Amino acid sequence: MLQVEIDKNSGFCFGVVYAIEMAEEHLDEFGSLYCLGDIVHNDEEVTRLKDKGLQIISHQELKELKDATVLIRAHGEPPETYQIALQNNIQLVDASCPVVLKLQHRVREGYEGDTQIVIYGKEGHAEVNGLVGQTNGQAIVIMGINDLDKIDYSKPIRLYSQTTKSMDSFYKIKAKIESRSADFKANDTICRQVSNREPQLKIFAAEHQVIIFVSGKKSSNGKVLYEVCKNVNLNSYFISNVDEIDKQWFNDKKQVGVCGATSTPMWLMQEVKKYIETIA
């Protein structure tokens, strides 16, 4: 019989827990709530909250909305969002992660004169959009080493990171820029609750014969953490729900580990665990 263990360090980070708790409290009291973008990058959790009355809207729809209540998710928002809310008499339930708010403040403070603000992150990601908004859209977004030619090395450079990026990759980028710039300062703004999961996951992945990594396909953090597992254990599989599980993965295996991203709900990992136990 298969032994299935859920990684105790996986599941929502505190920022996501905070946002979902705020949404549920409002939904329990009022029955409905608008949310600007998916509250979390996990379709299963979004569906659960939609069933409770959460309505996902786009930034374009926000501009047309008036006299309503809207949740700002953990990723944070640019200043423009707050201006629109003020103009349209929209009450905001601000669930921006405190770590993200601190980062926004640091980016805003660093944006002065001819200093270039460089953000290591996923272009178009909600958190990154919020950071770029602190610089009136002037920040340079780099997704990896191949984007470093976007930077003007004759000007002062200040590097920041999306909170959920890989620490190893951040420090490789830092070293590359440092070697080409005379006026450079790097700000390690990666969330430690997120970055600490990498060494924890390496241990967890090594302790099991098969790893089932549960995450939404939109999750940047999920992609990073899945690669951590895959590099340690080749029998690592990325799934979003139980329908994607292949029984053949467990042939001749005894130990299975179930883990996930910072946007993966514990209830979903428990569902996956139960399903695997039924097919064993």
Task: Quote the pLDDT of residue 221.
Answer: 86
Structure tokens at 140: 């340079």
Q: Is the pLDDT of residue 189 over 90?
A: yes
pLDDT in tens, 152-169: 999 999 999 999 888 889
Confidence of residue 183 (pLDDT cuts 50, 70, 90): very high
**Is 127 a residue of the active site?**
yes
- Average confidence score pLDDT of the chain: 95
Q: Is the pLDDT of residue 271 over 70?
A: yes
Question: 127, 178, 271, 277: which is the annotated catalytic residue?
Answer: 127
Q: Looking at the whole model, is its pTM more than 0.95?
A: no
Task: Quote the pLDDT of residue 220.
Answer: 83
Task: Quote the pLDDT of residue 238.
Answer: 98
Task: Quote the pLDDT of residue 15.
Answer: 92
Task: Quote the pLDDT of residue 258.
Answer: 98
Q: Is the pLDDT of residue 118 over 90?
A: yes
Q: Where are the beta strands (DSSP E) in 41-168?
A: 54-57, 69-72, 91-94, 116-120, 140-142, 157-161
Q: Is the pLDDT of residue 280 over 70?
A: no
Mean pLDDT of 129-145: 96
Task: Quote the pLDDT of residue 166.
Answer: 85
Q: Is the pLDDT of residue 112 over 90?
A: no
Q: What is the largest CA-CA distance in the chain?
A: 65
Structure tokens at 114: 């001819």
Residue position matching structure tokens 């254990």: 233
Task: Quote the pLDDT of residue 176.
Answer: 97
69-72/116-120 β-pairing: unpaired
Q: Which domains does the chain have, with CATH numbers?
A: 3-11+194-279 (3.40.1010.20), 14-96 (3.40.50.11270), 99-192 (3.40.1010.20)
Helix axes 14-30, 43-51, angle to 10 degrees: 20
Report the distance separating Cα 28 and Cα 225, nearest Å.
33
193 burial level (CB within 10 Å; 0-12, 13-18, 19+):
middle
pLDDT in tens, 1-28: 789 999 999 999 999 999 999 999 999 9
Task: Quote the pLDDT of residue 224.
Answer: 87
Q: Is the pLDDT of residue 55 over 80?
A: yes
Mean pLDDT of 221-248: 95
